Amino acid sequence: MNVNEIAKTLEELAPLAHAEDFDNVGLLVGDPNMEVNGVLVTLDTLENVVDEAIEKKSNLIVSFHPIIFKGLKRLTGSNYVERVVLKAIANNIAIYSMHTALDNSKMGVNAKICEVLGIKNPEILIPRAKSIKKLTTYAPNADAEKIKLALFSAGAGEIGKYSNCSYSVEGTGSFKAENDANPSIGKVGELHFEQETQINVIYSFEKEKRILKTLFEAHPYEEVAYEVLTLENTNQDLGMGMIGTLENEMSEKDFLLSAKERMNASVVRHSKLLGNKVRKVAVLGGSGAFAIGAAKKAGADIYVTADLKYHDFYQAENQLVVADIGHFETEQFTKDLLVDYLTKKIPNFAVSLSESITNPIKYL
């Protein structure tokens, strides 16, 4: 397999279009057509990780965090970012990053945290708005079913756990083919009336190019009439954070001690304990202060995240317990998630888990 083929496999799990606008994801270093000998999965791409890839003869590093986040103006090896890029290029190693594309995936970072913490039936904490689109098109009645099936095969009509969803209305369409037109139905210069079906389907925004291409290929008309609208509906399968329930309720202290052990955290910083039982838990890997309000609104008893500042803890406002277990700690199991995913998707291919510890924070 080449780099591009493996990238497409990863994008089935976390499409790059799902990444946040500020992010830098995808292939950051290397030739997309290079044949891959082995994949090394890591949380961060540091110099010791590149050394590990060289030792393991893995010429593709799949990294959660992007080593290139801001623009590079020079490559002189003056800092760790430049040194990593130079070493990767010198050893013909490609680097691919997923970051917030995987954060936003329903099967990504936060799903893994829920698994480790024993949180059941997780749902997206902050579903993404304006990521669902609606396509309306018009077709001769005889062609409507064929067009719908083609659109479904391209990924349209998926709502939660349901697929092949559409709504159709029959009516009468009219058109007049002008000079130089080549109508499949009707004659040039004559007003034509056709019994047509209005087809309505929704889809996730990143599928638009493929869906429109499919529509134009499947439709019999020379000029296809269609409308695309961006909906206000939130996407229940896409967004930041997750919230779910524990199988058995626990005291706040017992839950925090359990989370500390399960997440291999050296320290747990938290807001005031309220003396409540914990049943509903929200999580968000990495820097999650922005989602405290969402966790409160969702009725979470505890919200587990990282990188909270002093004043962030005040936002708990005696409505829930806010816990910071560390940035690395919330995301560390992402490596295992990706190795498991690639191993299942590409069996009999060399995929290895990086043994390098990349956490820059140490504790006394």
pTM of the model: 0.91
Predicted confidence band at 70 (pLDDT cuts at 50, 70, 90)? confident
Q: What is the pLDDT of residue 161?
A: 86
Distance from C-alpha of 184 to C-alpha of 181, rounded to nearest angstrom: 10
Predicted confidence (pLDDT) per residue in 162-202, tens digit: 999 999 999 999 999 999 999 999 999 999 999 999 999 99
Predicted confidence (pLDDT) per residue in 340-351, tens digit: 999 999 998 999
Predicted confidence (pLDDT) per residue in 37-51, tens digit: 999 999 999 999 999
Name the fold adopted by 109-127+238-325: 3.40.1390
What average pLDDT does the segment 153-158 reach? 96
Domain-by-domain residue ranges, the chain? 3-99+333-353, 109-127+238-325, 131-231
Q: What is the pLDDT of residue 363?
A: 92
**Which CB contacts under 8 angstroms, 24+ apart, belong to 46-50?**
46/80, 46/84, 46/356, 46/358, 47/80, 47/83, 47/84, 47/87, 48/356, 49/354, 49/356, 49/358, 50/84, 50/87, 50/88, 50/91, 50/93
Do β-strands 321-324 and 269-270 pair in parallel, antiparallel, or remain unpaired? antiparallel
CATH architecture of 3-99+333-353: 3-Layer(aba) Sandwich (3.40)
- Would 109-127+238-325 and 131-231 be classified into the same CATH topology? no
Q: What is the pLDDT of residue 160?
A: 84
- Classify domain 131-231 at the CATH class level: alpha beta
